[in-house]
Amino acid sequence: MYKATVIVKRRPKILDPEGKAVEQGAKLLGFNNVKKTRIGKYIEFFVETNDKTVAEKEVREYSEKLLSNPIMEDFEFTLEEVK
Amino acid sequence: MKPKFGVVVFPGSNCDHDAYFAVKKILGFQSEFLWHKEKDLKGSDVIILPGGFSYGDYLRTGAIARFSPIMESVYKFAENGGIVIGICNGFQILLELGLLPGVMMKNESLKFVCKDVYLRIESNNNIFTKSVHQKVLKIPVAHGDGNYFADETTLNELEANNQVLFRYVSPEGNVEDGFNPNGSLNNIAGIINKKKNVMGLMPHPERCCDPILGNTDGALLFNSVAENYLS
């Protein structure tokens, strides 16, 4: 079995109003070195197979079809074998 | 002949009854609810994907609803020229489904906006606005994710093909940033597909059909569809 971790990010050119708002909070707290806050999504799940190629294919398709929208988001993922 | 409207109900839809009430009780057309787990469109001539928060808006607005069993039938129906109207969350579902291009992002202000807005009709060369003789309509919006975005190529294509149907404008009909409630590119409030049988719009025409509410501009759109759906 594999544990998948998917991170979905807004594309660099896409405006991220949430990130901007959170960064205002950072400024209020005095974190003046904090720049370019961007907010994305972290998704984890398990894939029930012992074949890494199958797991990779499934995670990629799941990410492309549902977890991200290619118009505004990119995704990356990692797979970790679990016993 | 009067058209039959099918109103799709997803878990989390909350404008389904308004849409049903507006087309059936106010405008006098046939109407039926269509549960999202069904595949049968029950002989509908026009499908309405209503507003709300299907599947709690989890992941992205419309992202999960677009895979509901009924959407396969709606997709085929639209591909064959069937008329589909997506209102608010319904518009977001159409974008995720790919029947309309682009994507909806969070409002630029990060605030949920709920108010009347003014829309300029950009084209009458389609069944949705063909019989509407007003240039500017007053229709309410109520959304947190109505900030329309598409890449430059798509946007240019939409404009070139006259697929932008409604723009947020001043009461006089001028496109101004101050009258854009959500940051949408080019003040876009509603678009249609190339074949002109699928319309998506963020404002809620079903909420302004009953004369008792003091505004019936929304009825103009449904009546236009009813008058022209066979053409």
Q: Give me the number of domains chain A comprises.
A: 1
Which pair of tokens denotes residue A63?
């990410």
Please check whether residue A81 touches B, CB under 8 A.
Answer: no
Pairing of strands A73-81, A2-10: antiparallel
What residues of B are in contact with residue A25 (Cβ under 8 Å)?
Answer: none
Nearest to B81 by CA among B99, B66, B108, B55: B99
Burial degree of B90 (CB within 10 A; 0-12, 13-18, 19+)? buried
Cα angle A3, B55, A59 (rounded to 5 degrees) comes to 25
In this complex, do B110 and A72 lie within 8 Å of one another by their Cβ atoms?
no
Judge whether A34 is closer than 8 Å to chain B, CB to CB: no
Q: Are B137 and B217 in contact (CB under 8 A)?
A: yes
| pTM assigned to the model | 0.93
Please answer whether residues A40 and B73 qualify as being in contact, where contact means their C-beta atoms are separated by less than 8 angstroms.
Answer: no
| Residue B155, pLDDT score | 98
Task: Give the pLDDT of residue B169.
Answer: 98
pLDDT at position A13 is 87
Going from the N-terminus, what domains does chain B have, and what CATH number goes with each? 4-228 (3.40.50.880)
Q: Which residues of B belong to the active site?
A: 88, 204, 206
Average confidence score pLDDT of chain B = 97
Q: Crossing angle of helices B89-97/B69-79, nearest 10°?
A: 80
Per-residue pLDDT at A83: 85
**What is the domain extent for residue A42?**
2-81
- CATH number of the domain that residue A19 is part of: 3.30.1280.10
List, for residues A13-57, the tens digit of each pLDDT value: 888 888 998 999 999 999 999 999 999 999 999 999 999 999 999
Q: What is the pLDDT of residues B35-89, one digit of tens each?
A: 999 999 999 999 999 999 999 999 999 999 999 999 999 999 999 999 999 999 9
